[in-house]
Amino acid sequence: MDELPLPASAHPQAFRSLAPAVHRGSTVVFGSMAEYGSRRERFYDGYSYGLYGTPTSRELERRIAALEGATRSFVVPSGMAAITLVTLACAGAGGRVLFPDSAYDPVRTLATTLLAPCGVEVAFYDPLIGRDIACLLTPATRLVWVESPGSVTMEVQDVPAIAEAARLRGVRVAADATWATPLRFRALAHGADFAVNAVSKYLNGHSDVLMGAVSVREEALYRRLRDMARALGHGVSPEDCALVMRGLETLGLRLDRSEATGLRLARWLAARPEVDAVLHPALPSCPGHAIWRRDFTGASGVFSVVLAAWTRPRLPAVVEALRHFAIGASWGATRSLVAPIDPAPARTAVPWTAGGPILRFSAGVEDAAALEADLAQAFALFGPPPRDPINVVRVESTR
Ligand SMILES: *Cc1c(COP(=O)(O)O)cnc(C)c1O
């Protein structure tokens, strides 16, 4: 050990590769006393400590910023960490934050375990509220969250209308745009101040990394996020950043494939007697479909179906008979997934009234015909629908 010299340079100039370099490091070392003394000046842009960024994390942030049309992007350890970070960066004691009733479920735990004890009030609103959000903006409101579409019930929100109403009142807007990815919906261009993506889903896309990203246009917001993340001790591993950059290389290909397969499966399911409603933003049966057509450049491969109530007893056998769809709650990767989800207990603003269970599907990149055949063999196990229509509660609308 005594014989080991200090590294000459972390940047070998003569080696050029298409793969981004993985720069590991907790300690950052300095060439002089003066450089060390002024390291805090390099907190936002240079390097002062491994936790505050490495050349690998900064390269990933540059690439995500380019996708989002942002000035700055910032990566954190998970999508949930990104949601918490943005919320804490905007609202302190006495502040109020609004979430759509369709929001990613763990935000309810954020509201009760962290925000409420810190004196931040949280309210949930009808995701289809549009410009009437103005009625819910009190002088204490600091932040409005949108999640469009909601990742279980798929309501597409009028983000420009909500953002405009909030902007007129000086209220910030944060968008969880994980379903669409920046390739299908650029949240900043539609009026949001913060674009959040759970990188764990499509951006990485291989079910093996947890990460979140926040993108902004305003430098002041970026600095505020960095300061808050420093207090929370957030940092990401350079290996994970390199894996995400590998995933980003095929994001467009994967998304095109998942979109096409998802639509094929959604249309197949829509024609089934077991299915009461297909909640896919690209289909007219989805609440907010017209807004999706106006604001989005395409779909991803995630959608839900509301099954008829009579399917309930056979549902476990059917789901477990699927051979290509693993049962799992995450989504947006190469493998197809299915998740039975009941949104009703979580809802507080708009009751969820559909009588039957929900299955959420995430179409992967497998052969679409094989996936459809898999659904067909499993759905056959439901058996014929009950004969007496009087005993069947048909839900025409999910609202
Ligand atoms: C998964 C998900 C998150 C959280 O991401 P994690 O990296 O799992 O914490 C946030 N929002 C949406 C819409 C998600 O699907």
Query: Where do the domains of the chain lie?
Result: 54-249, 251-382
What HEC string does 367-378 produce?
Answer: CHHHHHHHHHHH
Binding site membership of 178 for ligand 1 (Cβ less than 6 Å): yes
Binding site membership of 212 for ligand 1 (Cβ less than 6 Å): yes
The closest-lying atom of ligand 1 relative to the alpha carbon of residue 78 is 7
CA distance 264 to 73: 34
Binding site membership of 78 for ligand 1 (Cβ less than 6 Å): yes
> What is the Å distance from ligand 1's center to 149 Cα?
13
Torsion (CA) 278, 282, 284, 287 in degrees, nearest 10: 70
CATH architecture, range 251-382:
Alpha-Beta Complex (3.90)
Q: What is the pLDDT of residue 392?
A: 52
Terminal C-alpha separation, the chain: 68
Pocket test for ligand 1, best of 78, 99, 178, 341 (most atoms within 8 A of CB): 178
Q: What is the pLDDT of residue 399?
A: 45
Topology agreement, domain 54-249 and domain 251-382: no
Pocket test for ligand 1, best of 156, 194, 201 (most atoms within 8 A of CB): 201
Residue ID of nearest Cα to ligand 1 atom 8 = 79
Relative to beta strand 194-198, strand 172-176 is parallel
Helix (H) or strand (E) holding 197: strand 194-198
Binding site membership of 79 for ligand 1 (Cβ less than 6 Å): yes
> What is the Å distance from ligand 1's center to 384 Cα?
37
Q: What is the pLDDT of residue 9?
A: 62
Binding site membership of 149 for ligand 1 (Cβ less than 6 Å): no
Binding site membership of 379 for ligand 1 (Cβ less than 6 Å): no
Q: What is the pLDDT of residue 3?
A: 82
The closest-lying atom of ligand 1 relative to the alpha carbon of residue 81 is 9
Q: CATH topology for 54-249?
A: Aspartate Aminotransferase; domain 2 (3.40.640)
Q: What is the pLDDT of residue 181?
A: 98
Q: Which positions of the chain have pLDDT values less than 50?
A: 397-399
Residue ID of nearest Cα to ligand 1 atom 4 = 79
CA distance 215 to 150: 20
Binding site membership of 215 for ligand 1 (Cβ less than 6 Å): no
Torsion (CA) 102, 108, 110, 111 in degrees, nearest 10: 110
Q: What pTM value is reported for the model?
A: 0.95
